[in-house]
């Protein structure tokens, strides 16, 4: 029987690229998203489900339906960022980001974990970000939500490893997706979704705890996290962001 992977946020960007990689390697692949028209475009290639990841009932219906044919990996990839980066906080957008980026992962992991516990095996994967290593200017809820995912994955890995459930946290740098195209600043080490997807496949196959890519960029950002906060503030307090839309 072919192995199976269910991917949230699978209709574009990293999620869609990952779906293609796994499909090419013989996996049964399901993707979900909120846009039915877009899902219809891929229904001949993947199993598709219309799902709002903040709705636990929808997540549960989709994953359980797909799992009837087996379930090996669940990849909680759905996430959003800011439409525009600016100094003054957008608390309405922040609440949306937290709901999708954190609660969406928790909903997905809850359903998957229950199935994996029953099956006796499984692999949980979530997309965090290199942005989760430090509080970055202009994106407080995004940095905070991705930091939360890093720690949620770390804790779950410790709790579930004795139940034969693996956990991998994906921390991309800048990837050329619809989300990053809106960034008003330079994006060092920008990589393609296809390259990122290959790194994810390889990392999950090797049961890596964390997948950090591009590695050089990740090392630089990690180094910043060890700096005294006063020094960190001086380095990043004048970002090259376009704040004209405040």
The per-residue DSSP string of 116-132 comes to HHHHT-EEEEEE--GGG
* Catalytic residue flag (residue 142): yes
Judged against a pLDDT cut of 90, whether residue 120 lies above it is answered with yes
Judged against a pLDDT cut of 90, whether residue 138 lies above it is answered with no
For helices 13-24 and 193-205, angle between their N-to-C axes, nearest 10 degrees: 60
Sorted by where each starts, the structural domains of the chain and their CATH numbers stand as 4-236 (3.40.50.720)
The span from the CA of 129 to the CA of 188, in Å, is 15
Q: Is beta strand 47-50 parallel, antiparallel or unpaired with respect to 165-172? A: unpaired
Question: C-alpha 34: how far from its chain's center?
Answer: 16
pLDDT of residue 181: 61
As a whole number of Å, the end-to-end CA separation of the chain is: 54
- Mean pLDDT computed over 178-183: 64
> Out of 42, 46, 142, 201, which one is annotated catalytic?
142
Judged against a pLDDT cut of 90, whether residue 88 lies above it is answered with no
Cα 193 to Cα 51, 145, 174, 209, distances in angstroms:
22, 21, 10, 20
The span from the CA of 217 to the CA of 222, in Å, is 9
* Least confident piece of the model among 125-134, 177-186, 233-242: 177-186
pLDDT of residue 21: 98
- Mean pLDDT computed over 202-230: 93
Average pLDDT over the chain reads: 92
Contact 38, 70 (CB under 8 A): no
Judged against a pLDDT cut of 80, whether residue 189 lies above it is answered with no
For the stretch 235-246, pLDDT in tens is 887 655 555 444
Sheet strands side by side (includes 28-33): 47-50, 28-33, 4-8, 73-76, 122-127, 165-172, 210-213
Radius of gyration, CA atoms only, the chain:
18
Query: What residues have CB less than 8 Å from 141, skipping those under 6 apart?
Result: 82, 93, 94, 95, 97, 98, 101
For the stretch 26-58, pLDDT in tens is 999 999 999 999 999 999 999 999 999 999 999
Burial class (CB in 10 A: 0-12, 13-18, 19+), 208: middle
Task: Label residue 132 left, alpha or beta by phi (over 0 means left) and psi (-120 to 50 means alpha).
Answer: alpha
pLDDT of residue 154: 98
What percentage of the chain carries pLDDT values higher than 90? 76
What is the value of pTM for the model shown?
A: 0.92
Smallest Cα–Cα separation from 79: which of 207, 169, 210?
A: 169
Token readout for 57 is 């009932």
Judged against a pLDDT cut of 60, whether residue 226 lies above it is answered with yes
């Amino acid at each position: 029987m072919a192995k199976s992977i269910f991917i949230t946020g699978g209709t574009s960007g990293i999620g869609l690229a990952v779906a293609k990689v796994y499909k090419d390697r013989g996996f049964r692949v399901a993707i979900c998203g909120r846009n039915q028209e877009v899902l219809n475009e891929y229904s001949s290639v993947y199993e598709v489900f219309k799902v709002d990841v903040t709705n636990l009932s929808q997540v549960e219906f989709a994953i359980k339906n797909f799992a009837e044919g087996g379930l090996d990996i669940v990849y909680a990839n759905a996430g959003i960022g800011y439409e525009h980066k600016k100094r003054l906080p957008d608390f309405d957008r922040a609440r949306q980001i937290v709901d999708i980026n954190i609660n969406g992962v928790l909903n997905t992991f809850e359903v998957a974990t229950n199935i994996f516990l029953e099956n006796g095996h499984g692999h949980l994967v979530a997309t965090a970000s290199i942005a989760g290593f430090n509080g970055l200017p202009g994106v407080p809820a995004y940095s905070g939500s991705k930091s939360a995912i890093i720690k949620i994955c770390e804790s779950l890995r410790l709790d579930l490893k004795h139940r034969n459930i693996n956990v991998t946290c994906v921390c991309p740098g800048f990837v050329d997706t619809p989300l990053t195209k809106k960034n008003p600043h330079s994006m060092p080490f920008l990589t393609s979704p296809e390259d990122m997807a290959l790194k994810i496949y390889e990392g999950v196959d090797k049961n890596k705890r964390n997948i950090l890519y591009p590695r050089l960029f990740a090392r630089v950002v990690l180094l910043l996290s060890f700096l005294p906060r006063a020094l960190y503030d001086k380095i990043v307090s004048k970002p090259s962001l376009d704040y004209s839309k405040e």
